Amino acid sequence: MSAVPLDAESSNLFSDRGSLDACGACNGVSCCGRGGVIKAPFLSSHDVKTISMKTGLRPESFSDEVSNPHTGNTVRFLKATTANGCHFLNAGRCGIHEFRPVDCRLFPLDVKKLEGELRWVIYNYEHCSLSERDQKVLLGQISAAKAALGAEILDYATVPTPGMAEMRYSMLSSVSEKTLTAA
């Protein structure tokens, strides 16, 4: 399955019923800004194209390339600094919220490769107290996430992300890689 083509509807892949309840009191520094233990989010090629198109910025200005040691592929992460956090964080708010990356939309829901299988997990991030509604919203994003990530889902699941490796998570389901990547 390939990534979803870029078009006028691309930023509306996800059912975005507003922010998660857990994000309501956040001032943007817990996971997006300085002081957060989470480092910059993974960017799919779709995310890079969308952000570039919507902002007029070249990908090099807002993202860094990293080699995934598990797949050998080159992937991108959003630029962030220890002092200021995410490249697009402004006064504690996301400057690209309407078309934010898949990784940002899903957090703290994630895909990890564990024991040879791709599995959906929810990270127990200390700053996220997920309500029942939050969990339903996140789980409702799985189909859109699979479509948006396309063939990049294996890179998304395996590239080391500083701050995430040490974080505890709860297993949601175990599905085969074939199921996650099937059209």
Instruction: Report mean pLDDT in 10-residue bins for the chain, 183 residues.
Output: 37 54 67 63 93 96 94 93 79 85 84 84 73 81 84 92 64 47 40
Q: Say what the pLDDT of residue 81 is.
A: 76
Residue 121 lies in a domain: yes
Q: Say what the pLDDT of residue 1 is.
A: 31
Residue 1 lies in a domain: no
Residue 149 lies in a domain: yes
Beta bridge partners of residue 173, listed in sequence order = 120
Q: Which two three-digit tokens encode residue 141?
A: 């994003």
How far is residue 69's CA from residue 44's CA, in Å, rounded to a whole number?
A: 17
As for how many domains the chain has, the answer is 1
Residue 172 lies in a domain: yes
Residue 5 lies in a domain: no
Whether pTM exceeds 0.85: no
Q: Say what the pLDDT of residue 107 is.
A: 80
Q: Taking phi first (over 0 means left), then psi (-120 to 50 degrees means alpha), and beta for anything else, what does residue 25 get?
A: alpha
Q: Say what the pLDDT of residue 136 is.
A: 82
Residues of the domain holding 37: 10-181
Residue 129 lies in a domain: yes
Q: Say what the pLDDT of residue 39 is.
A: 67
Burial bucket for residue 110 (CB in 10 Å: 0-12, 13-18, 19+): buried
Burial bucket for residue 101 (CB in 10 Å: 0-12, 13-18, 19+): buried
Residue 173 lies in a domain: yes
Residue 2 lies in a domain: no
